[in-house]
Structure 1
Amino acid sequence: MMPQLVTVRVKRPDRHPVRVWVPVLPVVLVFSPVVVVAVVGAVVGAVVACRMYRIDVVRALGTGWRIVCALPGTRFDAEYSRTAVLVAIR
């Protein structure tokens, strides 16, 4: 299943935390022309890289798709000094 919602929370030391919910499907629909060009470019780049390193193209693209489908439930936390960024993919 494709990720549906990305939640980004930024904690700052002297201010209230900022939380932003980004629905994936509307963003993809709005940016669909750019997304199509980016996906085609990424696939072409992956095919060229697979050919250079003698990796099975179909298996590599299938593995990439499985990684994208496994993203829901992923959390990414980054802290620098007193600022923290928390990203959750649902």
Structure 2
Amino acid sequence: MMPQLVTVRVKRRTGRPIRIWVPVVPVVLVFAPIVVLAVLVAAVACVIYRVSVLRALGTGWRFVSALPGTQFAMEQDGTAVVTTIR
């Protein structure tokens, strides 16, 4: 299943935390022309390096499908950023 929502939470030492929700589908639709070009470039690269195009696309889809449930956390100088993919 493709990720549906990305939540970014920024905790600062001073002040209230900031939380941003980003729906994935509208973002993908806006960037669809760039995604199509990226897939074409990747297919050409696969042909140049003699890698199976279908296997590479399948691997990319499995990677995207495995993203839901992933959480990234970074902290530096009293500011923490937590990104959750649902």
TM-score clears 0.5: yes
Alignment correspondent of 2:69: 73
Identity of aligned residues (%): 63
Gaps of 5+ in 2: none
Residue 38 (structure 2) aligns with: 42
Per-residue deviation, 1:56 = 0.7
1:83 to 75, 79, 85: 79
Query: What secondary structure is seen at the aligned counterpart in 2 of 1:8?
Result: strand
Structure 1: runs of 5 or more not aligned = none
Matched residues in 1 for 2:55 and 2:79: separation?
40
Change (3 A) 1:40 1:28: closer
Distance 1:40-1:25 versus aligned 2 partners, 3 A rule: closer
TM norm structure 2: 0.88
Aligned residue in 2 for 1:61: 57
1:68-87: CA deviation from partner (whole Å, max 9, x where unpaired) = 11110010111222111110
User: What TM-score, normalized to structure 1?
Assistant: 0.85
Paired residue for 2:8? 8
